[in-house]
Amino acid sequence: MKSNFTLRFVCVGSIATLLASLSVQAALEWDGSDLITPGAQGGAGTWNGNNTANWWDSSTSADVVWPASGTDHDAIFGGAAGGNVILASVTANDLTFNTSFLFWSSGGSGNPTGSSSSTVKVDGPNSTFSVTGSWDLADRGTGNQFKVLNGGTANMTGGGYVGYYTGNVAVLIDGTNSVWNTAAVDRANGGSSASATVSNNGRWNANGQITFKNNHSLSLNSGGELNVQTLNLAAAGGRLNFNGGRLIAQSSGSLVNGAGQIDLIGAAYIKTDYTKSIGNLIYDVGSLSKEGTGELTLSTTT
């Protein structure tokens, strides 16, 4: 896998890239810019359903059109790096990226301003989403969603942004064995209604610090878990809401810091085998239970 990666999902209207939990029929490889040379060359092009033959099928040694919406094929992106891929409305099972690509909507190349209501969904135990290097989910627009559901797995092991410029992205990790693996994540400057929720035994493994710069909220509900080094709630309106979820510490030092607050709406579980501290704790109607062999210091409580 190559390390220099930039991923941007910027879609408009009802466009969605869906990773459905279906039995996989075939893996097709992106061949966007060179339809003459045999093999998957990568590069720029338009990804649409049942129209342009720019997907290499190794079983037939030929370029084929992407199957119509509702089929269950895997999409593999490799070859030439940095190509602009224009998205139309498509459905896929697994998306795997082995090199860098920029994704734009079919509404215009290179101009993501005003893009809204796009969804990237990793749904079901047979669905995986793999990215190496840096990434950016929906850097502009409102109403965007990133979901890992029902046992799906998203591996985004480079550092990344969720809404880098003005993008508003809601993140949902929901269901047993639903896992989002990341390095450091920056919620950046997206709109104040952007949120992240980990629920129903879903898990977010963040190998580093998570930063919420605006009034974003992170909710840990019904067995949802966040495994993190430090959660920084930079803005005063930032919230970490506990309602039956668990926060797991990776190392010593501050676990939750910044101007934002921790709200115990329901039961809260914090597990640490290290010396950790948290601040700005609000006891609503919930409770706090400390787990593990480490020491937890509460700096400010109300």
Q: How far apart are CA 145 and CA 84, in angstroms?
A: 21
pLDDT of residue 155: 87
pLDDT of residue 167: 67
pLDDT digits (tens, 9 = 90+) for 217-256: 999 999 999 999 999 998 888 999 999 999 999 999 899 9
The string of pLDDT tens digits covering residues 116-150 is 666 677 888 877 877 766 677 766 667 777 889 99
Question: 113 exposed, middle or buried (CB, 10 Å; 0-12, 13-18, 19+)?
Answer: exposed
For 2-28, the pLDDT digits (tens) are 333 334 443 333 334 454 444 456 789
Handedness of CA 64, 65, 71, 74 (dihedral sign): positive
Most confident residue range from 23-27, 85-89, 298-302:
298-302
Q: What pLDDT digit, counting tens, does each position of 148-183 carry?
A: 999 988 888 777 777 766 667 789 999 999 999 998
Contact by Cβ (8 Å): 95, 115:
no
Half-sphere exposure of 188 (CA within 13 A, CB side): 20
Structure confidence at residue 74 as a pLDDT band (50, 70, 90)? confident
Please give the full DSSP string across 47-78, using - where no structure is assigned.
E-BSS---EEETTTTEEEPBPPTT---EEEE-
The average pLDDT across 95-111 equals 57
Per the model's pLDDT, the better-predicted residue between 120 and 286 turns out to be: 286
**pLDDT above 60 (res 189):** no
Its pTM stands at 0.77
Task: State the average pLDDT for the chain.
Answer: 79
Q: What percent of the chain has pLDDT over 70?
A: 75
Confirm if 140 and 167 have CB atoms less than 8 A apart: yes
